[in-house]
Structure 1
Amino acid sequence: MKIILNGETCEVRAETLAALLEERGLSGRVATAVNEGFVPAGLRATTALKDGDRVEILAPMQGG
Structure 2
Amino acid sequence: MEKVIKLNGKKYEVPKGVGTVRQLLDHLDLSDRIAVIEKNQSIVPKGAYEEPVNDKDQIEIIHFVGGG
* TM-score, length of structure 1 as denominator length: 0.87
Spell out structure 1 runs of 4+ moving beyond 3 A. Answer: none
Q: Which has the higher helix share?
A: 1
Encode CA deviations 1:23-56: one digit per residue, 9 max, x unaligned.
11112210001000000111102x1111000000
* TM-score, length of structure 2 as denominator length: 0.82
Identity percentage over the alignment? 32
User: What root-mean-square deviation, in Å, do the aligned CA atoms of Structure 1 and Structure 2 show?
Assistant: 1.4
Instruction: Tell me how many residue pairs correspond in the alignment.
Output: 62
User: Is 1:51 the counterpart of 2:26 in the alignment?
Assistant: no
Aligned counterpart in structure 2 of residue 40 of structure 1, from 24, 31, 45? 45
